[in-house]
Structure 1
Amino acid sequence: MLYDLNIAWSPHTKPAELERTLRFSASLGYDVVAVNHTIGGQIPANLTKDTLPSFELPVSSSPSKPKLPTVLRRATVVLTEPAQHHRLPQLASAYDILAVRPQTDDAFSAACQSLNDISIISLDMTVRQPFTFRPKPCMFAVSRGIRFEVCYSQVLQGPVPAHVLGPKGNKDWNSGYSGGADARARAAFIGNVSSLIRATRGRGIVISSEAQSVLGLRGPADVMNLLHVWGLPADRAKEGLSVLPRSVVVNEGLKRSGFRGVIDIISSADPVQGDVEMAEAVNGKAEIATGNPQGNRGKKSKNQESNKKRKNDDAETLDAGGDGEGQPISKRQEKRLRAAMRKKQIDAGTADV
């Protein structure tokens, strides 16, 4: 299965245009698509699914149109201040996937090392980043299961428009988000992608489109060729379209449906005969270990039988006059044996007289 976890969406996007983009992505071969809502301002305090903007797809019964892929809801938070971190868990419960786009060095370090509610670090590669891609924090993020996202549509049609991120005139939110992909933006994109590939050794990179329309989408083969030209190996590029995004979707689903993201209980199965027998055996051992009278009674009877057998064997040995070859003799048995031998000698002397 092929994944595209970033289809740009804003409240200004028309439902017909969104439907067209989704159907075209399905025709290209993408099976799962995430509609991304970028949040550039402060996260609302009272955050519920009703207060968040929702996209609606028009229902069309035309059989000639390609079917829609599996659509997920995603939110990307533009991190500029540490005060935004404590509201990320509330936002994660309202969306299927949560990603961050750090704008400062501190935000990037926090996303790589300490933030636990995110699964993707999305970056705008068309601008010069205020931080460098160092191998140690990048590999630490990959070991934690966090993926870095490369959006190829940024170099084709330009980054996300400024009105998606926040109000006009805000330099922190709108920096690098106005204008198209000129020669300088393309050069910055290639340089940033190459630096990220060197820092991560090509691991943990998810490839998405961030397409605003059908013009920003490309087929999977073309995308792999593009990333291979920019320095990513072909096998890593294939994983970035299939294996790695699938792990993101599965892990995010476990966080929301399972117990602490570890156990997912679907239904209880009926016990079979083998399980019942195993449970009875385990219960029997537990009764003996915990001092159950029945278990102790059985254990005592076995010990008594073994002791009785040993006494009978000792008596037979004494009667036969043997010295218990092959078995160690205690001092008490040795005394009894000497007394028996002395008695026999006295009896033999009396009979001679």
Structure 2
Amino acid sequence: FKMSAHMDLDILHTNIHKTLESKVKLASELGYEVIAINNFVPEIKSVKKQKKGGEGQIIKIQSAETFRLSDEKLKTLKCPGRPLKQLTRFTTIIKDHPHIHQIGGNDIQSYDIVAAQPSNEKFWQAVCKSDVIDIISLDFTERLPFHIKRQQINEAIGKGIHFEINYSPALSSIDPQRYTISGAQELVKICKGKNIILSSRAVNAMDLRGPYDVANFSLLFGLNEEQAKAAVSTNCRAVLKHAESRKSIRGVLTFQSVPRTIEITPKELQERLAATAAEKTPNDNNINRSAINNNSKDNISRGLEKTDSQAPNGKLVNTSIDSSKSTKKRHCNEEDDQPHAKLLKTNENGS
């Protein structure tokens, strides 16, 4: 794509083909060279388990090719002499933790662009750290249920994620217009105009505006002239590069070879352990023996030093672990000698 190619990455898909075709045709007439047909799913339904004996209800996401116009139809809709490339996009509102994991599924990742719209602050923090989305879409038609913080903004910018502002609600009634402008101003102020894209999300063809009109209108959001032009061209191109990188990295991870598991019997395990033990060198065994002998000698010498301590009366007393037993034995011998001494003294006096 050209650096200055104008893009609208949010042409809302409708089941009425005439409405979709009229929006695509008008987008080409207004000067857009790249459009993304958006499959907006308000909520991804989780797989629900029925009662015992029943099977779970499996809900599949429609294929990305379902929302792509045929090449013949696209030729009839685009302006002569102007290029027009169509892309597919998937957008959903994150209302539960399983939704974050479901976005990483192959059915959703097959879309050219993946976008998420957080419903509260917890999921706002989660999508800013996500590796499987390209765009964070914010609903500014009413007050956001969470505060936009610089920390999460910087995390998302560091991952190459862009923030989307839809301008069509600002062209409708007073309340959505007021909320959209105030919310967009808050976002632009915190992110300093970085990684902002402007899209229509037009329900009808009459909600579309030309890229230069959109850039001029976005000055109300706080963007400067250069940032406003980038929001409908170069920033959109960065989104497509991020999407290509996401899909290529996912392809590498998906087809990466898995190490083969080898089964082994207990007998083979014992033989391998024995062979490993036999591979030890004799030098290592000698070193271990000498270390053990040195430690034993040190322990014996320290034990002798403790044993040969000097008693107060000048006699050697055993102060090792068995000292208490020897002390008791010595006391018993002295007590046994005392009656014998008294008996000798009595005999002498009697004689």
1:14 Cα offset (Å): 1.5
Contact 1:255 1:261 in 2 (8 A): no
For 2:117 and 2:79, how far apart are their aligned partners in 1?
32
1:150 aligns to what SS in structure 2?
A: strand
1:187 Cα offset (Å): 1.1
Unaligned runs of 5+ in 2: 48-57, 254-351
Find the partner of 1:19 among 18, 21, 29.
Answer: 21
Q: Evaluate the alpha carbon distance shift between residue 209 and residue 64 of structure 1 in structure 2; reply closer, same or farther with a 3 A threshold.
A: closer
Matched, 1:103 2:88: no
TM-score, normalised with respect to structure 2: 0.61
For 1:259 and 1:77, how far apart are their aligned partners in 2?
20
Q: Equivalent pairs: percent with the same residue? A: 28
The residue aligned with 2:30 is: 28
1:66 Cα offset (Å): 2.1
Q: Evaluate the alpha carbon distance shift between residue 260 and residue 189 of structure 1 in structure 2; reply closer, same or farther with a 3 A threshold.
A: same
Q: Evaluate the alpha carbon distance shift between residue 55 and residue 250 of structure 1 in structure 2; reply closer, same or farther with a 3 A threshold.
A: same
1:93 Cα offset (Å): 2.4
TM-score, normalised with respect to structure 1: 0.61
For 2:175 and 2:77, how far apart are their aligned partners in 1?
42
Matched, 1:135 2:135: no
| Structure 1 segments (4+ residues) deviating >6 Å | 61-65
Matched, 1:66 2:70: no
1:109 aligns to what SS in structure 2?
A: helix
Q: Evaluate the alpha carbon distance shift between residue 198 and residue 17 of structure 1 in structure 2; reply closer, same or farther with a 3 A threshold.
A: same
- Counting only pairs closer than 5 Å after superposition, residues 103-182 of structure 1 correspond to structure 2 as 103-112=119-128, 114-156=129-171, 181-182=172-173
Contact 2:39 2:67 in 1 (8 A): no
Query: What whole-Å deviation, never above 9, does each CA across 1:119-158 have from its counterpart, x for those lacking one?
Result: 10001111000111122211221121110000101222xx
Q: Evaluate the alpha carbon distance shift between residue 247 and residue 261 of structure 1 in structure 2; reply closer, same or farther with a 3 A threshold.
A: farther
How many residues matched? 235
Q: Which amino acid aligns with 2:231?
A: G
The residue aligned with 2:90 is: 75
Matched, 1:6 2:10: yes
Q: Evaluate the alpha carbon distance shift between residue 15 and residue 138 of structure 1 in structure 2; reply closer, same or farther with a 3 A threshold.
A: same
- Counting only pairs closer than 5 Å after superposition, residues 1-353 of structure 1 correspond to structure 2 as 1-10=5-14, 13-43=15-45, 54-55=66-67, 57=69, 59=72, 66=79, 69-90=84-105, 91-112=107-128, 114-156=129-171, 181-257=172-248
Contact 1:92 1:117 in 2 (8 A): no
1:44 Cα offset (Å): 6.1
For 2:27 and 2:252, how far apart are their aligned partners in 1?
30
For 2:42 and 2:251, how far apart are their aligned partners in 1?
29
1:201 Cα offset (Å): 0.6
RMSD: 2.6
Q: Evaluate the alpha carbon distance shift between residue 185 and residue 149 of structure 1 in structure 2; reply closer, same or farther with a 3 A threshold.
A: same
For 1:35 and 1:151, how far apart are their aligned partners in 2?
14
For 1:259 and 1:226, how far apart are their aligned partners in 2?
37
Q: Evaluate the alpha carbon distance shift between residue 43 and residue 220 of structure 1 in structure 2; reply closer, same or farther with a 3 A threshold.
A: same
Unaligned runs of 5+ in 1: 157-180, 263-353
1:35 Cα offset (Å): 0.4
1:234 Cα offset (Å): 0.9
Contact 2:44 2:92 in 1 (8 A): no
For 1:102 and 1:215, how far apart are their aligned partners in 2?
28
For 1:107 and 1:211, how far apart are their aligned partners in 2?
26
Q: Evaluate the alpha carbon distance shift between residue 62 and residue 142 of structure 1 in structure 2; reply closer, same or farther with a 3 A threshold.
A: closer
1:54 aligns to what SS in structure 2?
A: helix
1:238 Cα offset (Å): 1.0
Q: Evaluate the alpha carbon distance shift between residue 60 and residue 7 of structure 1 in structure 2; reply closer, same or farther with a 3 A threshold.
A: closer
Contact 2:68 2:87 in 1 (8 A): no
Q: Evaluate the alpha carbon distance shift between residue 51 and residue 22 of structure 1 in structure 2; reply closer, same or farther with a 3 A threshold.
A: closer
1:47 Cα offset (Å): 7.1
1:217 Cα offset (Å): 0.8
1:241 aligns to what SS in structure 2?
A: coil
1:148 aligns to what SS in structure 2?
A: strand
Q: Evaluate the alpha carbon distance shift between residue 261 and residue 77 of structure 1 in structure 2; reply closer, same or farther with a 3 A threshold.
A: farther
Query: What whole-Å deviation, never above 9, does each CA across 1:148-197 have from its counterpart, x for those lacking one?
Result: 000101222xxxxxxxxxxxxxxxxxxxxxxxx42222111111011001
2:231 aligns to what SS in structure 1?
A: helix
